[in-house]
Amino acid sequence: MNKLTLSAIVGLMLCGCTASNEPQIVENNMADQGNEASLKSLAAQVNLSVGTAFETRHLQDPLFRQKVIEEFSQLTPENEMKFSYVQPQRGQFDFSKADQLVEFALENNMTVKGHALVWHIQNPSWLEDGQWSKEELAEILETHIKTVVSHYKGQVKYWDVVNEAFNDNGGFRETLWYNALGEEYIEMAFRFAHEADPDAILFYNDYSTEGMNAKANGVYRHVKKLLEKGVPIHGVGTQLHLTSDGPISDVSIARNIERLSELGLKTHFTEIDVRLRDGDGESALFDQAKRYEMLMKLAVFYPQVDLYTTWGLTDKYSWVPNWFKGYGRPLLFDENYQPKAAYNAVHQVLEDASAGTFSYQPATDLTLVQRYVQAFDAKALPSGAFDANAVVYYPFAYNQLGVRNQTVPKAENISGKWAVGYHDNQLIGQVLRHDDFTVTNNKQAHENDNVELFIRLGDKFWQFRSIVGQDFAAANFPGEIQGEWSNDGQQFDFVIEFDDYEDLVGETIGFNIALSDNDNTAEDSVRHAQLYPLSGSNIGWQGEEFGELFMNGQNAVVAAVPVALPPTFVAKSLTQKPVDAESSVWQESYHYSLAFNQLDKKDMTVSQDSIAATWSVGHHDNWLYGMVQRQDDITVTSMEESYLNDNVELFFQRGEELMQFRSTVGKDFEKIRYPHQYRAQWSDDGQTLYFAIELDKPIASGEAIGWNIAMSDNDDGKARRYQLYPVPGSNISYLGEELTKLTFE
Residue 740 near residue 398, CB atoms below 8 Å: no
Beta strands at 596-597 and 722-725: parallel, antiparallel or unpaired: antiparallel
d(CA 700, CA 104): 63
Task: Give which of 54, 28, 597, 48 is closest to 316, Cα–Cα.
Answer: 54
| Rounded (5°) CA angle 160-163-167 | 150
d(CA 713, CA 641): 14
Residue 729 near residue 598, CB atoms below 8 Å: yes
d(CA 708, CA 373): 10
Distances in Å between the alpha carbon of 212 and those of 152, 218, 271, 370, 557?
34, 10, 18, 8, 14
Residue 39 near residue 346, CB atoms below 8 Å: yes
Residue 377 CB partners (closer than 8 Å, separation 6+): 392, 550, 552, 728
d(CA 214, CA 591): 28
What three-state secondary structure class fits 453?
Answer: strand
Residue 319 CB partners (closer than 8 Å, separation 6+): 78, 311, 312
Residue 437 amino acid letter: F
Beta strands at 111-118 and 74-77: parallel, antiparallel or unpaired: parallel
Catalytic residue IDs: 164, 271
Q: Which phi and psi (to 5°) does residue 280 adopt? A: -70, 145
Distances in Å between the alpha carbon of 678 and those of 605, 668, 672, 690?
31, 9, 10, 11
Task: Report whether the peptide linkage leading into residue 116 is cis, meaning its omega lies within 30 degrees of zero.
Answer: yes
Helices 184-196 and 134-151: angle between axes, nearest 10 degrees? 30
Q: Which phi and psi (to 5°) does residue 522 adopt? A: -60, 140
Burial zone of 157 (CB within 10 Å; 0-12 exposed, 13-18 middle, 19+ buried)? middle
Residue 457 near residue 247, CB atoms below 8 Å: no
What three-state secondary structure class fits 348?
Answer: helix
d(CA 309, CA 50): 6
Residue 239 near residue 262, CB atoms below 8 Å: no
Residue 550 amino acid letter: F
d(CA 619, CA 586): 11
d(CA 623, CA 692): 7
CA 252 to chain centre: 12
Residue 104 near residue 143, CB atoms below 8 Å: no
d(CA 472, CA 483): 6
Burial zone of 31 (CB within 10 Å; 0-12 exposed, 13-18 middle, 19+ buried)? middle
What three-state secondary structure class fits 50?
Answer: strand
CA 635 to chain centre: 35
The HSE-up count of residue 204 (CA atoms within 13 Å, CB side) is: 28
Burial zone of 61 (CB within 10 Å; 0-12 exposed, 13-18 middle, 19+ buried)? middle
Residue 520 amino acid letter: N
DSSP secondary-structure letter at 20? -
CA 369 to chain centre: 12
Residue 75 near residue 59, CB atoms below 8 Å: no
